[in-house]
Structure 1
Amino acid sequence: MSRVIHVFRQPERFVAGTVGEPGDRAFYLQAIEEARTISVLLEKQQVSVLAERIDALLTEVARRFGDAEAAPEPAASDTDPLAVPLEEEFRVGTMGLGWDADSKSIVVELLAVSEEEVDESVVLDDTEEGPDALRVFLSPPQARAFAERAEKVVSAGRAPCPLCAEPLDPEGHICVRLNGFHKRSPMGDAAADPGE
């Protein structure tokens, strides 16, 4: 079967979002252009890395080319939920990122998980062999807005433990920095002894 590459040259929307409760969330990226909507599933860490790399790429493009458009004022925040029905096109394995000087756009490419090792020459290329892909061209303001929303989506989950930075669960947390030892808090001691 030949490879399918979904290309969005002027997306009206490219956002990160989640489905589910903190601690059990599924992360998606969704691109919308005209009547076409593509959603791909990925890991929380992938969303975080993509946001960081987009910020770094915009900074580097501005530094190298002195392009005022590459260090833009962010676009208006998109706080709307993901469009429904949410149908996963594929799970993201490899991600690619680049700068298209002709269109002055950030190019994000997300490749489907593949059983075979992905050759880096497949990323941002139209070869007929390789995993399916989603390729999105973002203006610098769109890219900055995507990165800001993605960072908010990632940080909106469970609060991190102040000692080990692992997510805190509502049921409790065994902190590796304390070797599983829990000190009682003064409030906990007072609550345990109602005679005081």
Structure 2
Amino acid sequence: MPTLVHEFSWPDRVVVGTIGLPGARTFYLQVRTGTQIVSIALEKQQSALLAENIDEILDQLMTVEGNRFSVPTGTPIELVDNDQLEAVQEQFRAGAMSLGWDPTTAQVVIEAHPITAVDADDDDDDDESLDEESADETEMLLVRMPVGTARAFAKRTREIVGAGRPTCPLCGYPIDADGHICTLPEA
């Protein structure tokens, strides 16, 4: 079965947002161009790593030949997006993701693939071939965004990830809204 590619080359909007209360939030990567909109579910850690790695790529590019790609050091004010997610219809839950740079278009490239049976069952020792694994994949998300949009995306994502439950100053674990039993590390 051919893979359905949800491709966005110059998206009107690309954001990470959440649905739910801290401690029970679901993270989504949402991309829109015109009326085409795709939302995929992510883990909180995937979101955090995505933002961190985008910033690393952009910071490295700033040092190349006098910043010839015009990578901004901060988020351009006109690209700040603090709006809520639009109507969310989950396309798939992200498993493997990749991040890259396309110098021909000066864009950051994100690829997201759905969780496969192999991803979901890491304890399974079956020796499946790559052909069988890729046969499970029926769709993927491909996003290409310019450097300013990528910088704004990373900033918003860090803010969304950081807006969860506060951490206990003693044990470092999250504090739930209904209380916290602190388990101090043993000395």
Give the structure-2-normalised TM-score. Answer: 0.83
AA partner of residue 78 (structure 1): D
Larger radius of gyration: 1
Look up the match of 2:124.
none
Runs of at least 5 residues in structure 1 that lack an aligned partner in the other structure:
123-127, 180-196
CA RMSD of aligned residues (A): 1.9
Look up the match of 1:145.
152
- After TM superposition, the runs of 4+ consecutive aligned structure 1 residues lying more than 6 A away are none
Q: Report the number of matched residues.
A: 169
AA partner of residue 89 (structure 1): Q
Q: 1:97 to 1:130 in 2, by over 3 A?
A: farther
Look up the match of 1:170.
177
Look up the match of 1:13.
13
Work out which of the residue numbers 83, 86, 92 in structure 2 matches 1:83. 86
| Matched-pair contact (CA < 8 Å) for 2:117–2:136 | no
Q: 1:130 to 1:139 in 2, by over 3 A?
A: farther
Give the structure-1-normalised TM-score. Answer: 0.80
**What is the Cα deviation at residue 34 of structure 1?**
1.4
Post-superposition CA distance 1:121-169 (Å, at most 9, x none): x9xxxxx856321111111100000000001101111111112322101
**Cα distance in 2 between the residues matched to 1:10 and 1:130:** 28
Q: 1:73 to 1:158 in 2, by over 3 A?
A: closer
**What is the Cα deviation at residue 28 of structure 1?**
0.3
Runs of at least 5 residues in structure 2 that lack an aligned partner in the other structure:
120-129
AA partner of residue 6 (structure 1): H
Look up the match of 1:41.
41
